[in-house]
Structure formats: structure tokens, C-alpha cells
Amino acid sequence: MGDGMLSKLHEHVVSELQQSSKTDTIFVVSAVLFNLVVLGINWGVATESHGTDPAAGNDWILGVLVIATLLINTFAVRALMAGRNTRVKLISGLMSMYKDNGIEQYYDPSLLDTYAARFKLFTAVLVILAAISILVPLLARLLG
């Protein structure tokens, strides 16, 4: 493969990695913001339902938002998994390209471990926020 073609392939793979990271960031930020908004709404709905005659509609709103929270977070985690798989394939290809050209010593393969750790942390944040946005209002509703 000519140097020009190799350079273009390298640029394409790096561009794909950058796009994958941007997409992951969008999914994480969107899910975090969604969870925080839903937490506020659910908290308001749950605490408004206190009293002798709680509005039945509030329970429906709470239920719909719980389902939406579960779905949105499931989709976000699945998107992160797809991004992780794409990134592993792209980086593996880069590492092979670097090895074939005798420059593999300039790329630390432990970066794959770093990406895996970042994925686990993003997933943990989403799961914890989703759990809080569901459980706290439900507890407020049930115990209040």
C-alpha cells in the first residue's frame, strides 16, 4: 500500500475514532441531563401526591417517566457498548497498521484498557443516576 493511501487510511480511522468519542459524549450528556430532569419532575409529582386525596394522574406520570428513564438509559448504555466495540476494532486496526510499518512502539496498547475503564465509568454514572431518578421519588411517594 502506498504512503499516500496509508496516510488517507490513517486519517480516516482517526476521524472515525473522534466521531465515536463525540457520539459517546452526546449519549452520556443527554442521558445525564434526562435523568436529572426526570428526577426533578418525578420528585415534584411524588411529593405533590401527598395528602388525603392524591391525584391518580400523578401516579401515571410517575409510571410513564420511570419507563422512559429505563428505556432512555438502556439505549444510552447500548450506544456506549456499540461505540466501545467500534473503538476497539478501529484501534486494533491502527495497531496492526503501526506494527506493519514498524512504528508500533509509539502507540501504547494499554489505551484500550483506558477506554474500557472510561466505558465502565460512564455506564456506572448512567445506572446510578437512573436508579436515583426512579427510586428517590418512589420512596418519597411511598413513605411520604
Q: Could you give phi then psi for residue 120, rounded to 5 degrees? A: -65, -40
Instruction: Give 73: exposed, middle or buried? Use CB within 10 Å, 0-12, 13-18, 19+.
Output: buried
Q: Give residues with Cβ within 8 angstroms of 97, minimum separation 6.
A: 6, 9, 10, 13
Count of the separate structural domains present in the chain = 1
69, 35 contact by CB (below 8 A): yes
Check whether 80 has a pLDDT greater than 70: yes
Whether the pLDDT of residue 48 is over 80: the answer is no
Question: In this predicted structure, what is the pLDDT of residue 123?
Answer: 93
The whole-model pTM stands at 0.81
The range of the structural domain enclosing residue 56 comes to 3-143
